[in-house]
Amino acid sequence: MGRTTLAITRPTTAALSSSVRWQGKYDLAVPLLREVLDAQERKLGPTHPLVLANKSNLAGLYLELGDNQRALALWDGAFDAFAKLEANHPTLLQLKSNSAVMMIAAGKYRQAELSLLDLVPMAEERLGDDHPLTLTIKNNLAHALHMQGNSRR
């Protein structure tokens, strides 16, 4: 798909990217998701929540490919942009949690632990104790602790 693709096809391109990603066809998924992200940034601006969410999706894809540096850079950029919009927005909480997962993948367990310890009360306050994202953050914290040999905490 080229630059002349109608804007209405972007959701279809994003869905196609997601589909080929889950099939393990990363060589197809990366350029498709990159195309969607580039078009969204041009149309919506770099700090739109949809753009930031797709940056996080692309970062997750890079993580799956083992490109931790590129993944962290995208997540950090999305996190910084979203932090300027609203402190406890659910998407920001998700991005922070994703960033902590990247830290765990990079072996930065203590750094991930500290980040997740800050996130738990924010998620509980904003979303509630039993919200799926709150539970995911708690699970990520448990994983960071486990990786440090501290499973009892």
Rounded Cα distance between 143 and 112, Å, is 10
Q: Please tell me the predicted confidence (pLDDT) of residue 116.
A: 95
72 residue type, one letter: L
**pLDDT tens per residue, range 66-116:** 888 888 888 777 777 776 766 677 877 887 888 888 788 878 899 999 999
Q: Please tell me the predicted confidence (pLDDT) of residue 28.
A: 78
Residues 30-60 as b or e (16 or more Cβ within 10 Å = b): bebbebbbebbeeeeeeeebebbbbbbbbbb
Rounded Cα distance between 115 and 128, Å, is 19
CA 127 from centre of chain: 18
Could you list the beta-strand ranges (E) of 23-153.
none
Over range 8-28, report the average pLDDT: 59
Question: Which CATH code of 3.30.590.20, 1.20.1250.20, 1.25.40.10, 3.40.50.2300 fits the domain covering 8-85?
Answer: 1.25.40.10
Which of these, 24, 14, 6, 16, lies nearest to 56 by C-alpha position? 14
pTM to 2 decimal places: 0.61
In contact, 69 and 103? CB cutoff 8 Å: no
Over range 32-36, report the average pLDDT: 84
Hey, where are the domains in the chain?
8-85, 88-153
Please give the DSSP secondary-structure letter assigned to residue 5.
S
